[in-house]
Amino acid sequence: MLSFAWPWLFLLLPLPLLCRKFMSAAKSDREAALRVPFLEDFTAADNTGRTLRRPRWRLWLALLAWLLLVVAGARPQWLGEALQLPLSGRDLMLAVDLSGSMQERDFIIDGERVDRLTATKWVAGDFIQRRAGDRIGLILFGDRAYLQTPLTFDRRTVKTLLDEAAIGLAGKQTAIGDAIGLAVKRLTERNSQSRVLILLTDGANTAGEVEPEKAAELAARSGLKIYTIGIGADRMTVRSLFGTQVINPSKELNEQLLKTVADTTGGRYFRAKNSAELVQIYQLLDQLEPVEQETRLFRPVKALYPWPLATALLLAALLLTAPLIRERWS
């Protein structure tokens, strides 16, 4: 339906009539020291000295322009149909490791071997789409932690920015403590019923200014629950000059640290050795932190003021240029 944000502006409609009634009339051209040809009265004299009246269309156009200007000032807007938006009241932050070790290709998706970050994007993207009603943010960390997306209901943007993340974008090392500290800072800026951080990494804390244990204690005091995910296969067959051999590509993963961080904040630690386990972990997170079914009505609003404003300006330009055009062709 149509509505106006500032309907009180319609009180200005009679302003031209009031100005004409209470303000003194302008002096005639004969008395003017300087005559501007296009600011004439609505009356003029012909060659015989008789007074002619200007066409009344100019007056009606001026009134119409004023009406449209007032309508534009009242901010007309079109209110769409009410939509129900799910709302959970939960602030959910994702922290994803972009260190150099995330390029290890020890995951398989659809029969193709991919690196750990690609597997994370594949699984976490679906997880983000399912979190309707949560405010979601994204932290990327390497040598330092960076806030890629502040808390928002726009899940599509969060997923897009996660897909655009690249290994080494934040550095080659792993600053787990800084990522937790940044999440605490951002999540405690808002009053929320529930604050959750999901931290995914494949290594140990090798950079940053904050120790992960200290950051976890700070998170626990602020009511932030942390779920940690250690990603990476524990067995991998590689070829070398001496034939094939089995190695552990996740030997740098500090599982004890991740368990300590999760336990300190009341969360849980998960181990993802392949893509199937990673999918199961995010499904389990959906169960541990379910999306609540509370809804809020929302009406999309479309601003309409540009149309009457543009028409009013067009009419005003026509009124100003009409005398000039007439004189040019007379």
pLDDT of residue 286 exceeding 50: yes
CATH code of 153's domain:
3.40.50.410
User: Are residues 200 and 94 both part of a single domain?
Assistant: yes
Q: Are both 291 and 308 inside the same structural domain?
A: no
Amino acid found at 302 = K
Pairing state of beta strands 43-45 and 51-53?
A: antiparallel
> Would you place residue 242 in the very low, low, confident or very high pLDDT band (cuts 50, 70, 90)?
low
Burial class (CB in 10 A: 0-12, 13-18, 19+), 267: buried
Share of residues in the chain with pLDDT > 90 (%): 40
102, 116 Cβ separation under 8 angstroms: yes
Claim to verify: residue 320 and residue 175 sit in the same structural domain: no
Residues 285 and 304 in one domain: no
Q: What is the pLDDT of residue 111?
A: 85
Q: Tell me if 172 is assigned to some domain.
A: yes
> Structural domain tally of the chain?
2
Do 212 and 176 meet the contact criterion of CB atoms below 8 Å apart?
A: yes
- The confidence score (pLDDT) of residue 36 equals 45
Output the pTM of the full model: 0.64
- In this structure, the answer to whether residues 69 and 96 fall within a common structural domain is no
pLDDT tens digits, 40-54: 444 444 454 544 455
Mean of pLDDT values over 298-318 = 86
167, pLDDT greater than 80: yes
Tokens of 27: 């002096």
pLDDT (average), residues 108-130: 90
Q: Same structural domain for residues 135 and 240?
A: yes
Give the pLDDT band (50/70/90) at residue 297.
low
* pLDDT (tens digit per residue) in 8-47: 989 988 888 888 777 766 555 445 444 544 444 444 444 5
> Per the domain annotation, does 284 fall within a domain?
yes
Q: How many CB atoms lie within 10 A of CB 311?
A: 16
Structural domain containing residue 173: 85-295
The region of weakest confidence among 135-144, 204-213, 298-307 is 298-307
